[in-house]
Structure 1
Amino acid sequence: MSTKRRSYSPQFKAKVALAALKNDEPIAELAARFKIHPTMINNWKRALADSAADIFDKGHKSQKQNEAQVDNLYRQIGKLKVENDFLAKKLSL
């Protein structure tokens, strides 16, 4: 009789983690109110605190990733253009 593991939405996890960060209630009361284990609340709270800086840094990372992707795509375009020109010359002979 195994029970299926419950999965929680990211919105629910954020809601619980923010409630834990506020420190208005003890973790045990939050666990009872949300019907989850206190360890999960502590894990989500720690994950939120660790990744909070990434929320504000997201624009910089995505811009760098976009620039890298554009550079890679330009390289691929150049390579394909050279191959296309080479094949066009071979076919015209």
Structure 2
Amino acid sequence: MSKKRRTWTPEEKATIVLEILREENTLAEIAKKHEVSQQLLSRWKTEFIANMSAVFNKKNEDVDKLKQEHEDEKELLVKKIGELTLDVDWLKKKQIQISQMKKKER
């Protein structure tokens, strides 16, 4: 019988890597505790160390790009809401005018 592959959330990975970095237990003990291979833990640690400078990067391009895209989309939606509001107001006005014209014809 094969083992079901386990998936880890980024938060779980970070917690385990911090436990490795504290060096209170050996890598083998941590691997046994969390039922993860030592090679995988070493890979997570290496990846964490390689990318930890991104945490302190104030000009993180990905975050800035996402923020800009969000602002652009928000601006577009606000503009569209304004256009639709004008259309609805115009239609309401025309409906009143048409109903008044029909009353006069009777």
- Runs (5+) with no aligned partner, structure 2: 73-106
- Which aligned segments of 4 or more residues in structure 1 are displaced greater than 4 angstroms? none
Helix, strand or coil: the match of 2:15? helix
Q: How does 1:32-71 map to 2 (within 5 A)?
A: 32-57=32-57, 59-60=58-59, 61=61, 62-63=63-64, 65=65
Give the corresponding residue for 1:18.
Answer: 18
- Give the number of the structure whose alpha-carbon radius of gyration is greater: 2
Amino acid of the structure 1 residue aligned with 2:30: L
Against the structure 1 CA distance between its residues 29 and 2, is the aligned structure 2 distance closer, same or farther, given a 3 Å change threshold? closer
Cα displacement (A) at 1:4 = 3.3
1:78-89 pair list within 5 angstroms: none
Return the TM-score normalized by structure 1.
Answer: 0.61
Q: For 2:46 and 2:17, how far apart are their aligned partners in 1?
A: 8
Aligned residues: 70
RMSD, matched Cα: 2.4
Which structure has more RCO (C-alpha within 8 Å, separation ≥ 6)?
1
Q: TM-score, normalised by structure 2?
A: 0.55
Residue ranges of structure 1 left out of the alignment (5+ in a row): 74-93
Task: Give the whole-Å Cα distance in 2 for the aligned partners of 1:22 and 1:45.
Answer: 12
1:21 Cα deviation after fit: 1.1
Q: CA deviation at 1:32?
A: 0.8
